[in-house]
Structure 1
């Protein structure tokens, strides 16, 4: 199954609630690559790459966190990249 890459912008209560670190640990446990970063407007931007089914599992895991409240996600497909891990950007 081919990998896909998604650029996502998360809106809602997503900063200051452990979103980035939850995303990092979930993504790494699922062998997904990419990055996640807080933006100044209160959103969180993430690029994640891997099997579509595993990206879906990552989204389910983020939604299970009682402190994270995702109101909506803007998603765009991107070209895959060569990378080896999932990181938090500052």
Structure 2
């Protein structure tokens, strides 16, 4: 089990990117959260099995039209075994 903190830059607000991240997480068995930041980026924490997490991150880095991802920065963080789902935060 692995967990990452990520920040996505580009045209990622006002284009459904948080919902795309949510549905991508659910379909890849990922728990965690996603939210918009005041600087125009999208921040998330994602946790899952290494192969599932890697696939999730590959899809997030590609994005989905009309979003345009220009950068994805991730750092490994401590696993949260109490977490049971993925959610969109305000």
Same fold (TM over 0.5): yes
The runs of 5 or more residues in structure 1 that have no matched partner are: none
* 4+ runs deviating over 3 angstroms: none
Q: Which residue of 1 aligns with 2:68?
A: 69
Q: Which residue of 2 aligns with 1:86?
A: 86
The number of residues matched between the two structures is 88
SS in 2 for 1:53: helix
RMSD: 1.2
- Does the 8 Å contact 2:3/2:48 carry over to 1? yes
Return the match for 1:11 from 2, 9, 12. 9
The runs of 5 or more residues in structure 2 that have no matched partner are: none
TM score, norm. by length of structure 2: 0.89
Q: Distance in 1 between matches of 2:32 and 2:5?
A: 9
